[in-house]
Amino acid sequence: MKKNRIITKSKYLNGLKCSRLLWIDCNDRERIPVPDISQQHLFDQGDIVGEIAKKIYPGGIDIPYDRGGFFENIKETKNFLSSRKVLFEAGILEDDLYARVDILRPARDGKWDIIEVKSSTGMKEVYFHDIAFQRYCCEKNGLKIDKCILLHIDNSYEKDGDIDPAGMLKEEDVTDQLDAYIVGIELRLDKIRECISSDDCPKVGIGLYCKDPYNCSMEGECWSALPEDNIFTLYNCGPKRGFPLYERGIETIRDISEDGLSVKQLIQKKCEEAGETHIDKDAIKDFLDTIQYPVYFMDFETINPAVPLFDGTRPYQRIPFQFSVHVQKSSGEKLKHHELLSKDREDPRKKFLEELKEALGKEGTIVVFNRGFEEGVLSELAAFSPEHEGWVRAAKSRVVDLLVPFREFSYYNPVQHGSASIKKVLPAVVGKGYEDMGIAAGGDASALYFQATHGNAEAIEKDKVYSDLEKYCALDTEGMAWILEELVKMVEK
């Protein structure tokens, strides 16, 4: 088996996270899944931010990795260091350590500043390890480092005309904080070398490190042996609560003692043990009494790009590009569908508001699933268009959240596995799901829409994406109508 013994920044960070992940990355990389649609979108957003960052330093020399590969990147970096100009994507190799520095900026007295570009809005601990590795590698190579800087998004920036790179991104000097992350780095590197060189993949159990500081790409494989009713599916029992139980040999919800469980957790445990569905008819009836016909089942889809697309918007601000509204005039009546999907590069919010206002009428209940999202988007739309503020306030007063009876465990089916999301509730209550959909998750919807509308997707890809988006959003609202219908049947039995 050919071993990749060069320790890059990503391999160093993988080694800090999990030795099994590191070994697989270096020795059996084919096992690591390719990024899913949402993950790739995040990476792409980071690349866009990286290109904008370069504009802050005019006259800089770009040394792209994809121009000539690993060795050409290192060679060109050596050639350009003497120019004392800003270098982008500088490749530094020293012994078995390789760091590619986002921005290497000349500083005083022949020194250099390391500038790491991130598309986040602030500092995370993993960034200290990230920049510390770069500094260590550069200094071993003979470069004198003056400052180490994180260049990240300022989410108070508001677009007005062309993007102002220096306004959207701000420098944060982290030089002094790095000393603590440099201490012990040689010992950590020795352990990483030992791991990489081993013939056998380390046997590492699952733990908090699977989720921290980011979800591990090998989670699907490492967690696959857990039973379906594992303790991590217990309602409100995340990794921090679940792993102390797991480490005591408790793997399933059935194995957990009832002592200390909440009412909702007890319901879930009993349903798992009996294989039965819990239905609180009185609570469901009380919920149904809050709904007045006509009923408007409403769902939004949004994008939140790192780099704002439209004037007056900020980084990561939600921009609604699609809605679906199914209308039912009276109980049992056929549904009527209204929808909007913006398919051009213009700001969709004005048209979105106008058509949504028309679709929702003036009276009747607006049913959503997880009202915090839709109401938040409506509030942001009111801020964008103050003349609609009164209408938005009236619309929000009509909203009823279909999540409530499931979040409160008035209804619980074991197939939900502790979740009250519509992706779990719809198949549990109705027996229909999202499995055969071209788009089956909100994150994928946002990523694919962005690619199709603001990226470089071919026309045939766009048509499929738009068609899949329309089906996905429509299922969300029609599915709510089906769920409500089933709840009515439950209380009538």
Three-state SS across 459-485? HHHHHHHHHHHHHHHHHHHHHHHHHHH
Return the SS3 of 400. Answer: strand
Ramachandran class of 161: left when φ > 0, alpha when ψ lies in -120 to 50, beta otherwise: left
Longest dimension (CA), the chain: 83
Q: For 391-450, how does the pLDDT look when each residue is reduced to its tens digit (9 = 90+)?
A: 999 999 999 999 999 999 999 999 999 999 999 999 999 999 999 999 999 999 999 999
| Residue 3 per-residue DSSP state | -
Neighbour-count burial of 146, counting CB atoms closer than 10 A to its CB (0-12 exposed, 13-18 middle, 19+ buried): middle
The share of the chain scoring above pLDDT 70, in percent, equals: 99
In sequence order, which residues have a C-beta less than 8 Å from that of residue 489 and are 6 or more positions away? none
Distances (CA, A) of 80 to 4, 61, 62, 104: 27, 8, 10, 11
pLDDT score of 147: 98
Number of H helices, E strands in the chain: 19, 14
pLDDT score of 388: 97
Q: For 306-343, how does the pLDDT look when each residue is reduced to its tens digit (9 = 90+)?
A: 999 999 999 999 999 999 999 999 988 999 999 999 99
Average pLDDT, whole number, for the chain?
A: 95
Ramachandran class of 385: left when φ > 0, alpha when ψ lies in -120 to 50, beta otherwise: beta
- Which pair of tokens denotes residue 95? 């012994």
Neighbour-count burial of 58, counting CB atoms closer than 10 A to its CB (0-12 exposed, 13-18 middle, 19+ buried): exposed
DSSP secondary structure of 425-453: HHHHHTS--STT-S--SHHHHHHHHHHHH
Q: Are 308 and 319 in contact (CB under 8 A)?
A: no
pLDDT score of 1: 42
Q: For 165-191, how does the pLDDT look when each residue is reduced to its tens digit (9 = 90+)?
A: 999 999 999 999 999 999 999 999 999
Rounded Cα–Cα distance for residues 229 and 210 (Å)? 19
The share of the chain scoring above pLDDT 90, in percent, equals: 94
Q: Is the dihedral of CA 88, 93, 97, 98 positive or negative?
A: positive
Rounded Cα–Cα distance for residues 5 and 18 (Å)? 17
For domain 282-492, the CATH superfamily is: Ribonuclease H-like superfamily/Ribonuclease H (3.30.420.10)
pLDDT level of residue 4 (50, 70, 90 thresholds): low
Domain locations along the chain? 7-197, 227-276, 282-492
pLDDT level of residue 70 (50, 70, 90 thresholds): confident
Rounded Cα–Cα distance for residues 208 and 206 (Å)? 7
Rounded Cα–Cα distance for residues 112 and 327 (Å)? 63
Rounded Cα–Cα distance for residues 141 and 138 (Å)? 5
Q: For 186-218, how does the pLDDT look when each residue is reduced to its tens digit (9 = 90+)?
A: 999 999 999 999 999 999 999 999 999 999 999
pLDDT score of 3: 57
239 vs 115 pLDDT, higher one: 115
Rounded Cα–Cα distance for residues 88 and 90 (Å)? 6
Rounded Cα–Cα distance for residues 315 and 155 (Å)? 5
* 449 alpha carbon, distance to own chain's centre: 15
pLDDT score of 69: 80
- pTM of model > 0.85: yes
Let me know if the fold of 7-197 is the same as that of 282-492: no
Q: Is the dihedral of CA 185, 190, 196, 200 positive or negative?
A: negative
Distances (CA, A) of 193 to 23, 26, 136, 137, 142: 10, 11, 16, 15, 22
Rounded Cα–Cα distance for residues 104 and 139 (Å)? 13
Return the SS3 of 192. Answer: helix
Q: Position of tokens 């509308």?
A: 453
pLDDT of residue 2 exceeding 70, the answer is no
Architecture of the domain made up of 7-197: Alpha-Beta Complex (3.90)
pLDDT of residue 381 exceeding 90, the answer is yes
Question: Which of these, 422, 415, 418, 414, lies nearest to 242 by C-alpha position?
Answer: 418
pLDDT of residue 355 exceeding 90, the answer is yes
Question: Which of these, 417, 414, 416, 425, lies nearest to 484 by C-alpha position?
Answer: 425
